[in-house]
């Protein structure tokens, strides 16, 4: 299993009149945390795309437990429970400054060969970086 935590502050433009973060912005928080998790492994989306592989999101699930509020620093925990092959399942837990769980989510991404537009396996270089975290 691999885990990584990223922190983001809720900006004014991401909120509604009540000071709650707009529901659609949670997916953006997931994306930032996912990108930072990959970067922490020494892998980036840019590198992946330069090697001819893209990672589109094919599923998104989101459960709202409590609102994220304007100017709060949110901790986003990203969890990979299984070693990816052709699919990569990310789980998310968002915590407010009081360390209360406020949101859970999940995204499923697939590896696609950009030339053929077909599903492919995770690049070998990325597999090597993740392998130590899975038995």
Rounded to the nearest 5°, which phi and psi values hold at 75? -95, 125
> In the Cβ-directed half-sphere of 14, how many Cα atoms lie within 13 Å?
20
Catalytic residue among 3, 16, 59, 71: 16
Pairwise CA distance, residues 116 & 119, whole Å: 9
Nearest of 78, 98, 102, 99 to residue 90 by alpha carbon:
78
Clarify whether 16 is annotated catalytic: yes
Q: Which residues have a catalytic role annotated?
A: 16
């Amino acid at each position: 299993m691999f885990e990584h935590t990223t922190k983001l502050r809720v900006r004014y433009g991401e909120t509604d009149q009540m000071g709650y973060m707009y529901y659609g912005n949670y997916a953006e928080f997931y994306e930032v945390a996912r990108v930072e998790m990959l970067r922490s492994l020494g892998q980036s989306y840019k590198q992946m795309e330069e090697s001819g592989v893209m990672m589109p999101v094919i599923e998104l699930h989101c459960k709202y437990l409590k609102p994220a509020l304007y100017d709060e620093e949110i901790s986003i925990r990203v969890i990979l429970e299984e070693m990816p092959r052709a699919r990569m399942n990310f789980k998310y837990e968002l915590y407010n400054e009081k360390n209360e769980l406020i949101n859970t989510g999940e995204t499923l991404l697939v590896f696609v060969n950009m030339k053929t537009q077909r599903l492919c396996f995770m690049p070998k270089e990325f597999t090597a970086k993740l392998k130590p975290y899975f038995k």
